[in-house]
Structure 1
Amino acid sequence: MGYKTPTPIQTQSIPVILSGKDIVACAQTGTGKTAAFLLPLIQHILSAEKRHLNALIIAPTRELVLQIDQQIDGLGYFCGISSIAIYGGNDGVVWSQQMHALEQGADIICATPGRLMALMQSGKIDFSNLKHLVLDEADRMLDMGFIDDIKNIASKLPSTRQTILFSATMPLKIRQLIGQISKSPQLINIAVSKPAEGVKQLAFNVYEAQKPDVLTLHLKQYTSDTILIFCSTKEAVKRLERELLKQQFTVQAFHSDLEQLERERVMRAFKSKQLQILIGTDILSRGIDVEDIGLVINYTVPPDPEDYIHRIGRTARAAKQGTAITYIAPHEQRTFFKTEQLMGMEVEKPNLPATFGETPKYEPEVKHQKGTVKTNSFKKPFRKPFKKH
């Protein structure tokens, strides 16, 4: 799965969850909190003498439920862990599929509160052997008016269960809820990650088709000996390498298709400043150890705020100065805004020269479609349900 070093929330939460104690963790989205509760839950399930409905995860939205369910697929694929995603909607087919899945049985149910309440009233869910209750993004469920549903659901679960609650904030009503549904929980508060003070952050609002020309401008404008460019996919890394080589830049892509000896050769050239520009994905941001990188460019906005911190953390190391530039296409604005929220700061967004023509406004509250262009620049894995005992 690519895990090498646990995040702070994982380091502090996993031992507590494995111990069976109740836990309340104050942690932002993008801190690795989902794996922080899924990994120990999977370990508990694998250690159980009998397989039954072991864990209930409640999340505020269908999107988050599906995201968690997909992570269960990935983390538990080779362990035979099964899960069911339960969420609302007007589709009768979805309702029938969810009812059928419940009849087949699963280790974990991941659900939105409203649909879960409806299914509980149908009598199709047996919680008598439930061991773990997880509430993810509890403060968001409060904002959406689900707290009474949460209390109702919790009251129908075994009192001996372990309660695990994650919330970005701790308003009074969440603290009151904690007192009602948990027993002497261990409290964990994770400080928000911050970029190094020496990093000058800049972001440019651009249309996707403007990115190549804007990148060319900045590569000519910033005369750093070493420049890192990050893309979100290996294919984008290769494509960008070809474009920059055509323009006679000294550039090399760094990706998983390279043999180990070639990777080592590329990294030696970059460290010795024989290679000026290195392009890679977020794997590079966590594994590179090179001093004096003067410029980091995010050609695409990383989907995870923590990845943004890791990317720009490659510059301004050891109390030195550096610059981090991010190109924000309209469909990436909402993601970048979440990153700004996590850091507790607004990144400066200068205007591009007038020669680039019209550029998009920064409107992160508006849902933009991917691929908006204004210029002419260039199924889940199958899992067999276990048999009920």
Structure 2
Amino acid sequence: MDSIKRRRPRSPSPAIYKLDDEDGSYEPYVPIAQRRQEKLARLSSLGVNGEKLNVKKLQEELDEREDAQREEEIRREKARKERTLLLEAQEVHSRKAAEDSKKTANEKAEEADAEILEAIKSRRKLASDMELAKGIQYMEPLKTSWRPPRYIRERKPEEDNRLREKYHILVEGDDIPPPIEHFSDMKIPEPIVEHLRSKRIVNPTPIQLQGIPVAFSGRDIIGIAFTGSGKTLAFCLPLIMMALEEEMKLPFIRGEGPVGIILCPSRELANQTYENVVTWCAALAKDAKYPPLNALLCIGGISMNDQSHVLSKGLHIVVATPGRLIDMLEKKRFTFNNCKYLCMDEADRMIDLGFEDDVRTIMSFFKNQRQTLLFSATMPKKIQDFARESLIKPVLVNVGRAGAANLDVLQVVEYVKQEAKMVYLLECLQKTPPPVIIFSENKNEVDDIQEYLLLKGVEAVAIHGSKSQEERQYAIKSFKSGAKDVMVASGVASKGLDFNDIQHVIIFSMPKEIEDYVHQIGRTGRSGKTGIATTFVNMNTSEQTLLDLKYLLIEAGQKVPPFLSTIDDPRAAQGNSLTGCPVCGGLGHGISNCPKLEDAQRRQMASHRTVDAEGGY
């Protein structure tokens, strides 16, 4: 076999790039070593007194001269850069100082608040993972078969606006459906209208008057109204009607549904909403021409086996808390394949730091477009802006300012020393007959108050987050039935719960966040009735919280006690505008010193420290 000769592959000839030299100014680059040799040759060819210069000496002189030149060039370049950066920095600083000098303290404060708000602004809108990943965007709201009566459709826009002004309804959005003053004109089935009439609900409240037509039209809605204004009916009724329509088209069988979901932040509120839905569906089913609708309560602390009879049939409506709902969806006990209605009660809490991740997880189970409804009594600007970005052509329906107190509640604020609170509590209980609710922010204090009242012969129950679900259900049931006169509660009972004929609410310890106070006093003065809210404050209450309380009393036209009147707003002294905080809605402070934001940041830092300690990062 002939040996194969290995040859070194020839490298291709280097490409020659020609530069266009239109003006003839191009000079080819000459390496430094070559330039030195040429210069040395020129110098060595010269004679001094007829003799040749020493080549070695010339070489050394040349090297020294070039080194000196190079160092000088480096020094000049460095000085030029430093001088440029300094001048630029000075120019920027002087320009900013000139702009700042033209701004008032008010404008500076607003800019600082805007920067903070932008920093905490959520970047991702509320949508399913599939929609975000595929970039799916729905441009038009859901279409429904509902239309208002002809005489209302033909009404002029000016008449609709006069009607809204009459009921103090503020609306924002495009193509807003008209307000309707009577349930019958909303085309609600007669059995439900009869049931409402039996409960002395004859005409819709302002939030229902505008909110129900908007929801019936398939529009996304942000509904804001004070406590006890009938928001539950405004978002439950459209879902019942949607489920009824689907069931009458084609009856549901096992494994199908739900049509819609109502999310609540607490078990007690979810249970109350579920009971309302069941009651209204039962009233509808009394008429033989309407089929029965199935509702499921999906909350922690109860066995889902007790509701297996519901899951064994077609499922129309689910009322749930986020944690248990995610568990049921992951176990595939039911799906959201045909779910097209999502409502969040107390929506500002649902989208808040504690539940936002859970809500996004729930969103990921939706397969199709849905109608989204957000309702609350307190919805700060931050949440409203976030909701607008997430919803499809939403309609904002606002009855009064978001976060304003119910005008049917008489607010009494009293200065009571910490050690005198328990004794004075007994005096306050004499103001009105039972039932009475007492709120405290501290769980241990809740138990102490209940024990004290029991020792004094007062029939009292207690409810807070550390109690078992059975204990919580017993407390609410016995209080609602009238078996117990007083309920001592933490904030868990302040959101949305509806108790009959509560005439008096006592706030034993003033909450830090003013929106919690608004919810707590809102347990009385419901459905057009009046009530009293007595609040204890003392040196332990922060001045900022007292300032929020002062402005809330002024806004509601309530009497401001002397010790609150003497508290001055530092923003007024600085000439700042006295707008409400966009994070919590408090009128007595700005976003820069918001207690809710500080608490959220503190919790976030604590969670990071926990992760670091466990080696998670």
> TM-score with structure 1 length normalisation?
0.52
Distance (Å, rounded) in 2 between the aligned partners of 1:28 and 1:102: 35
Shift of 1:75: 1.6
The aligned residue for residue 491 of structure 2 is: none
Distance (Å, rounded) in 1 between the aligned partners of 2:317 and 2:239: 9
Q: Secondary structure at the match of 2:396?
A: strand
2:281 equivalent to 1:76 = yes
Equivalent positions of 1:197-236 (< 5 A) are 207=426, 211=430
Letter in 1 for 2:261: L
Q: Which one has a larger percent helix, Structure 1 or Structure 2? A: 2
Question: Out of 106, 117, 120, which is 2:329 matched to?
Answer: 120
Shift of 1:36: 0.7
Letter in 1 for 2:296: I
Question: Out of 366, 383, 395, which is 1:157 matched to?
Answer: 366
Letter in 1 for 2:351: L
Distance (Å, rounded) in 1 between the aligned partners of 2:388 and 2:308: 30
Shift of 1:119: 1.0
Distance (Å, rounded) in 2 between the aligned partners of 1:57 and 1:67: 12
Question: Out of 359, 376, 379, which is 1:169 matched to?
Answer: 379
Letter in 2 for 1:300: Q
Equivalent positions of 1:1-389 (< 5 A) are 1=196, 2=199, 3-48=201-246, 49-50=249-250, 51=252, 52-79=257-284, 80-89=292-301, 94-98=303-307, 101-143=310-352, 145-167=354-376, 168-172=378-382, 175-180=385-390, 182-191=391-400, 192=404, 195=407, 207=426, 211=430, 300-301=503-504, 304-307=523-526, 310-311=529-530, 326=532
> Contact 1:23 / 1:187 at 8 angstroms: preserved in 2?
yes
Distance 1:111-1:37 versus aligned 2 partners, 3 A rule: same
> Contact 1:206 / 1:329 at 8 angstroms: preserved in 2?
no
Shift of 1:17: 0.7
Distance 1:150-1:327 versus aligned 2 partners, 3 A rule: closer
Q: Secondary structure at the match of 2:343?
A: strand
Distance (Å, rounded) in 2 between the aligned partners of 1:107 and 1:18: 17
Shift of 1:5: 2.1
Distance (Å, rounded) in 1 between the aligned partners of 2:329 and 2:396: 30
Distance (Å, rounded) in 1 between the aligned partners of 2:317 and 2:295: 5
> Contact 1:86 / 1:98 at 8 angstroms: preserved in 2?
no
Distance (Å, rounded) in 2 between the aligned partners of 1:9 and 1:15: 10
What do you get for the CA RMSD once the two structures are aligned? 3.9
Distance 1:179-1:195 versus aligned 2 partners, 3 A rule: closer
Shift of 1:341: 7.4
Distance 1:345-1:47 versus aligned 2 partners, 3 A rule: same
Question: Looking at CA atoms only, which structure, 1 or 2, has the larger radius of gyration?
Answer: 2
Distance (Å, rounded) in 2 between the aligned partners of 1:60 and 1:327: 24
Distance 1:301-1:184 versus aligned 2 partners, 3 A rule: same
Distance (Å, rounded) in 1 between the aligned partners of 2:343 and 2:386: 17
Q: Secondary structure at the match of 2:374?
A: strand
Distance 1:154-1:308 versus aligned 2 partners, 3 A rule: closer
Distance 1:124-1:329 versus aligned 2 partners, 3 A rule: same
Distance 1:178-1:109 versus aligned 2 partners, 3 A rule: farther
> Contact 1:99 / 1:124 at 8 angstroms: preserved in 2?
no
Distance (Å, rounded) in 2 between the aligned partners of 1:67 and 1:305: 16
Q: Secondary structure at the match of 2:265?
A: coil
Distance (Å, rounded) in 2 between the aligned partners of 1:57 and 1:200: 32
> Contact 1:83 / 1:106 at 8 angstroms: preserved in 2?
yes
> Contact 2:295 / 2:310 at 8 angstroms: preserved in 1?
no
Distance (Å, rounded) in 2 between the aligned partners of 1:54 and 1:71: 17
1:199-258 per-residue CA deviation (whole Å, 9 max, x = no partner) reads: 9876896638963xx67xxxxxxxxxxxxxx9879xxxxxxxxxxxxxxxxxxxxxxxxx
Shift of 1:68: 0.3
Structure 1 gap segments, 5+ residues each: 216-229, 234-297, 313-325, 331-337, 351-389
> Contact 1:88 / 1:115 at 8 angstroms: preserved in 2?
yes
Q: Secondary structure at the match of 1:128?
A: coil
1:60-97 per-residue CA deviation (whole Å, 9 max, x = no partner) reads: 110110010011122221223321111123x6xx1433
1:106-157 per-residue CA deviation (whole Å, 9 max, x = no partner) reads: 2100011111111111011122221211111111123461112212212321
Letter in 2 for 1:207: L
Q: Secondary structure at the match of 1:56?
A: strand
Distance (Å, rounded) in 1 between the aligned partners of 2:313 and 2:215: 27
Letter in 1 for 2:344: L
Distance 1:176-1:309 versus aligned 2 partners, 3 A rule: same
Shift of 1:177: 4.7
Distance 1:348-1:53 versus aligned 2 partners, 3 A rule: same
Distance (Å, rounded) in 2 between the aligned partners of 1:82 and 1:13: 24
Letter in 1 for 2:526: D
Shift of 1:345: 7.4
Distance (Å, rounded) in 2 between the aligned partners of 1:43 and 1:299: 31
Distance 1:131-1:143 versus aligned 2 partners, 3 A rule: closer
Distance (Å, rounded) in 2 between the aligned partners of 1:97 and 1:7: 36
Alignment length, in residue pairs? 243
> Contact 2:243 / 2:317 at 8 angstroms: preserved in 1?
no
Distance (Å, rounded) in 2 between the aligned partners of 1:13 and 1:85: 24
Distance 1:186-1:349 versus aligned 2 partners, 3 A rule: same
The aligned residue for residue 53 of structure 2 is: none
> Contact 2:222 / 2:396 at 8 angstroms: preserved in 1?
yes
Shift of 1:54: 1.2
> Contact 1:87 / 1:116 at 8 angstroms: preserved in 2?
yes
The aligned residue for residue 112 of structure 2 is: none
> Contact 2:406 / 2:525 at 8 angstroms: preserved in 1?
no
Letter in 2 for 1:307: R
Q: Secondary structure at the match of 2:243?
A: helix
Distance 1:209-1:190 versus aligned 2 partners, 3 A rule: closer
The structure whose RCO (Cα within 8 Å, separation 6+) is larger is 1
Letter in 2 for 1:62: R
Structure 2 gap segments, 5+ residues each: 1-195, 285-291, 415-423, 437-500, 506-521, 537-548, 563-617
Shift of 1:102: 2.9
